[in-house]
Amino acid sequence: MTRINVLIAVFASTAALAQTAEELDKRERCAVRVAIALTGKAPTADLLSSVDPQARADSLIDTTDFIERYARFINTTFNRTPGATAEADAPYYLAWEVLQKRKPWKELFLGNYRVEKNAADTVVVVPDPQGLGYFTSPAWMKRYAGNEPNGIVLSMAYRIFNNTIGLKLVPSTNAPDADITATGRSAVGCRGCHYDGMYALDLAASVLPKRVDVTGGDMVFEPPEGSPVTMMGGHTVTNMKDLVTTLVESESFRFRTCRLAFNFLFGRNENRCEAPAFDRCMREFRSEGTLQAAVAAIVKDPGFCQ
């Protein structure tokens, strides 16, 4: 072998080693990215040595670490503040149930469950034929019953919209002497959100249970007094189940689910260059129906570890 051939062989070998080292470093960084994003913990040695860390997303999503983190994330996102009691944070407990058993994500809102505190003073999720996700759990209903003079649960209606499709509304006034009666809400500046909008709060609240204050400061809920209403682009809504079902079956619900998944993984909304990953999330979620499918679609996207 000539001197030139020897030099060429040495350079080729050095380049190959450099390329191998670069590839190993890239895999390790990806393993760290995937593990931290999903479980909040450093990757295991097995994951660090994986040829394709992103392919391990499904197994990580089934871990207790992921379930706990996502349930807490959902509870924080869906509530303004921590609940005064554990059972008031019903989204956390039901999210745990749905994720652990890999049930369709829509069961968080439509499943026949009830979150309550049992005789042992432990918060549990129990079957309830009349239940509607966590929306009919007693502590959650009392938490968002609101203070409307006639018992119209406007706060509950807004929370249902917000949790399912991400609707955000800002009150036009917070003055202490503001007229919060139906007459006041019909005034210019208020009726757009309460009566005329696509997600009119008063129309939605009229088909929800009515709050009734009882002696001792407690409250109970009675069947709604309102008639069926037409809203959300022509849908006829008769009761809470109709309302929630219409929302959960919408494209806005799927969009909300994937946006939440992005927020969980990145700490922010998706940006324009991440549209392919977002579209993949929407397709997988539409097809599979599980939160795990939505999250995995994003984590397995080629751009996730770049």
Question: Using the 8-state DSSP alphabet, how is residue 231 labeled?
Answer: E
Structural domain boundaries in the chain: 3-60, 62-143, 146-249, 251-299
Strand ranges in 94-184 using DSSP code E only, listed in sequence order: 113-117, 123-127
Average pLDDT over residues 51-77: 96
Question: How do residues 109-131 score in pLDDT, each as one tens digit?
Answer: 999 999 999 999 999 999 999 99
Task: Look up residue 66 and give its two tokens.
Answer: 């992921």
Check: pTM over 0.85? Answer yes or no.
yes
Beta-ladder partners of 221: 211
pLDDT confidence of residue 3: 60
Question: How do residues 148-190 score in pLDDT, each as one tens digit?
Answer: 989 999 999 999 999 999 999 877 665 555 566 777 788 877 8
Alpha-carbon distance 225 to 17, whole Å? Answer: 75
Question: How do residues 45-57 score in pLDDT, each as one tens digit?
Answer: 999 989 999 999 9
Task: Look up residue 178 and give its two tokens.
Answer: 């503001």
pLDDT confidence of residue 172: 67
- 197 or 60, which is more confident? 60
For residues 111, 117, 119, 120, the Cα torsion angle rounded to the nearest 10 degrees is: 110
